Amino acid sequence: MKTLVLLVMVLISMPVVAQDDWGKKFMKDLGDSGAKKKAKLDSVDFQLAISESEGSGLFDVENKGEGGARMLYALRDKKERTVKEIARDTLESGLSFYELRMYKIAEEGFKTAQKYMENNSLTNEISYLRCISVMGLVYLIQGRTLDAGQYINYALETSEKILGTKSAAYVANLNSQAKLFQLTGKYNEAEKMFDEAESLGQQVFGTNTMQMAIIINNKAMLYQTMGRYKEAVELMKKAITASEAAPRNRTLL
Taken in order of first residue, the domains within the chain and their CATH numbers are 82-171 (1.25.40.10)
pLDDT computed for residue 102 by the predictor: 81
pLDDT computed for residue 224 by the predictor: 92
Q: Kindly write down the DSSP assignment for every residue of the chain, as one continuous string.
A: -HHHHHHHHHHHHS-HHHHHHHHHHHHHHHHHHHHHHHHHHTTT---EEEEETTEEEEE-PPPTTHHHHHHHHTTS-GGG--HHHHHHHHHHHHHHHHHTT-HHHHHHHHHHHHHHHHHTT-TTSHHHHHHHHHHHHHHHHTT-HHHHHHHHHHHHHHHHHHT-SSSHHHHHHHHHHHHHHHHTT-HHHHHHHHHHHHHHHHHHT-SSSHHHHHHHHHHHHHHHHHT-HHHHHHHHHHHHHHHHHSPP---B-
pLDDT computed for residue 80 by the predictor: 61
Q: pLDDT for 179-231, tens place per residue?
A: 999 999 999 999 999 999 999 999 999 988 888 999 999 999 999 999 999 99
pLDDT computed for residue 220 by the predictor: 93
pLDDT computed for residue 94 by the predictor: 85
pLDDT computed for residue 181 by the predictor: 96
Q: Name the stretches of the chain with pLDDT < 70.
A: 1-46, 49, 51-81, 248-253
pLDDT computed for residue 21 by the predictor: 52
pLDDT computed for residue 20 by the predictor: 54
